[in-house]
Amino acid sequence: MYELLIKNGLVYMEGEFLPVNICTADGKIAAHLPHGTEPEAAKVVDARGRHVFPGFIDPHCHLRDPGLTHKEDFYTGTCAAANSGYTFVCPQPNVKPVPSTLEAYMQEVEAGKARSIVDFSPVGSPLGSAEDVKHIAEAGTIFFKIFQKVATYPYNTTAGTLDTHKIYKAFENVAATGKYCCIHPFDKYFFDAAVEETKAQGLPITLENVRYKWYTDEEMSGAVWQLAYFARKTGMKWYAMHAWMPGYIDLLRLLKAEGKMTIVTSFEYMPSIDAPDEIYHVPTGKNIIVGHDARPDKEKIWEAVRDGTLQMIGSDHAPHAPEEYNHLDALNTGAGFAMLDFFGHLLVSHMNEGCYNLQRLVEITSVNFAKAFNLYPRKGSNLIGTDADFTIVDLNEEWTIDKDYKIYSKTQINPYLGRKMKGKVKNTVVRGRVIMSDGVVDCEPGWGQYVINN
Ligand SMILES: [Zn+2]
């Protein structure tokens, strides 16, 4: 008897959706059968009229575990991920302790093994010694990450640095391991100038007065030319992350056309696409002002997704406790918010809005990640013998994100209240186990496995 039968769905395999019944055993895909052939299985999901994607993968979220678990932890954060179809997540390294030594890295891995319900790979920090970087790479981190910023909370950790020489050395160390490294590009002179300009106008440094002047095209794209050169000079594989500003996207097109560097790319959804100025806190029914960064050219982002310049989309799920937001003090307030409960649904809905087509949706949610980071076909393929991770989607369901929408993230934030949606993730399956059905997440902590790509 099989563990799971998913019947009557359209299953993605190698470029097309096919009418196939899927059977799983021991967490792997065991059989593809024609519709109508239904062997016995412990659990059956009828996916009639639905599309069976390879399980969605989020290359960029903040799960705050270990060390900052009053904001989120592996359990609550991955329940939120499962709620919108994510089967695999890559938590970023601004946790406590920062995973820049093998010991700290393994502490985060153990936290994930204890509490995650989806598969996971913590992202290592390469700001330790060359030996540390080597050990974390050997342990299996899929890529490394540096925050080129220390200015605002929560980035004032040792996962961040403004020291370009230190960044160059870290790139050399990562290059020696053959892994990718990404970096959040930043230029503190621009950041500080926005604050000084606002003060000179006699205005208080509130989010409303200053945040829209931060992370502009000239700031981010300017910084990224130097970082790209460092990556090229050191021969490091570059994961170009946070690529939403026009000059950054133009640079990636240029470098990809030239073909002299190994590059994989993403932009991050939460800060760049329709970022709200206020987010709704469900338990109190109050709005929290969060402001927004300099607005990118949204149409240019979608164009870059369509033409393949941008290959992945990270959620940048970045929860903070409600009391950590203070819009009156822009230099000491939480930046970002929790959004994994919504992310997968949003990406489906954007396809229906015409931002990209169905094939591109599959690529940006799983295939491109799996291929770039040497996990294909185990992840991202739906082929026989591979991990039975699926995201089952109704492409046509129309719904509105309302106050009753069930949220699993610890902070209970609804940033997209009132948004009209077309398309909804109906089931999330991790290694043959259905962990979410119709918005109900049902899985004990620890089902998620640590995934390495050595
Ligand atoms: Zn982030």
Q: Tell me which residue has tokens 């790209």.
A: 228
| Cα-based distances in Å from 156 to 95, 128, 151, 222 | 11, 16, 7, 22
- Cα of 19 to ligand 1 centre, how many Å? 38
- Cα of 313 to ligand 1 centre, how many Å? 12
Distance of alpha carbon 125 from alpha carbon 146, whole angstroms: 6
- Cα of 101 to ligand 1 centre, how many Å? 20
Q: Where are the domains of the chain?
A: 56-372
- Cα of 183 to ligand 1 centre, how many Å? 10
**In sequence order, what DSSP letters do the residues of 49-107 get, joined into one string?**
T-EEEEPEEEEEE---TTT-TTT--HHHHHHHHHHTTEEEEEE-S-SSS-S-SHHHHHH
Longest dimension (CA), the chain: 73
Distance of alpha carbon 204 from alpha carbon 331, whole angstroms: 11
The residues, ordered by sequence, that sit 6+ positions from 413 with a Cβ below 8 Å of its Cβ are: 279, 280, 281, 282, 288, 319, 322, 337, 338, 339, 407
- Closest alpha carbon to 346 in 117, 58, 145, 8: 58
Cβ pair 95, 158 in contact under 8 A: no
Distance of alpha carbon 187 from alpha carbon 261, whole angstroms: 24
Structure tokens, 381: 């393929």
Cβ pair 7, 46 in contact under 8 A: yes
| Cα-based distances in Å from 282 to 74, 412, 416, 438 | 21, 6, 12, 20
Q: How many CB atoms lie within 10 A of CB 110?
A: 12
- Cα of 241 to ligand 1 centre, how many Å? 9
- Cα of 60 to ligand 1 centre, how many Å? 6
Listed as ranges, residues in the chain with pLDDT below 50 are none
Question: For position 153, what pLDDT does the model report?
Answer: 52
Distance of alpha carbon 303 from alpha carbon 134, whole angstroms: 37
Question: For position 157, what pLDDT does the model report?
Answer: 80
Question: In this structure, what DSSP letter does residue 310 have?
Answer: S
- Cα of 87 to ligand 1 centre, how many Å? 19
Structure tokens, 182: 């990404």
Identify the CATH class of 56-372: alpha beta
- Cα of 403 to ligand 1 centre, how many Å? 26
Q: Which of 269-291 are b and which e, b meaning 16 or more Cβ less than 10 Å from the residue's Cβ?
A: bbbbbebbeebbbbeeeeebbbb
Distance of alpha carbon 213 from alpha carbon 218, whole angstroms: 11
* Residues paired with 440 in a beta bridge: 437
Question: For position 149, what pLDDT does the model report?
Answer: 80
Cα 177 vs. chain centroid, distance in angstroms? Answer: 23
Cβ pair 220, 242 in contact under 8 A: yes
- Cα of 193 to ligand 1 centre, how many Å? 23
Structure tokens, 359: 């094939």
Distance of alpha carbon 33 from alpha carbon 354, whole angstroms: 32
- Cα of 316 to ligand 1 centre, how many Å? 5
- Cα of 399 to ligand 1 centre, how many Å? 28
Distance of alpha carbon 350 from alpha carbon 178, whole angstroms: 35
Helical residues (DSSP H) of 180-323, grouped into ranges: 188-200, 207-210, 217-234, 246-258, 269-272, 298-306
Distance of alpha carbon 229 from alpha carbon 168, whole angstroms: 10
- Cα of 317 to ligand 1 centre, how many Å? 7
Cα dihedral angle (167, 173, 177, 178), rounded to 10 degrees? 40
Distance of alpha carbon 259 from alpha carbon 163, whole angstroms: 28
- Cα of 207 to ligand 1 centre, how many Å? 19
Question: For position 453, what pLDDT does the model report?
Answer: 86
Q: Does pTM surpass 0.95?
A: yes
- Cα of 61 to ligand 1 centre, how many Å? 6
The residues, ordered by sequence, that sit 6+ positions from 447 with a Cβ below 8 Å of its Cβ are: 116, 117, 118, 430, 433, 435
Rg of the chain in Å (alpha carbons):
21
Q: What residues flank ion ligand 1 with Cβ within 5 A? A: 316
- Cα of 159 to ligand 1 centre, how many Å? 12
Structure tokens, 188: 């503190």
Q: Tell me which residue has tokens 């999330």.
A: 428
Question: In this structure, what DSSP letter does residue 122 have?
Answer: P
- Cα of 93 to ligand 1 centre, how many Å? 9
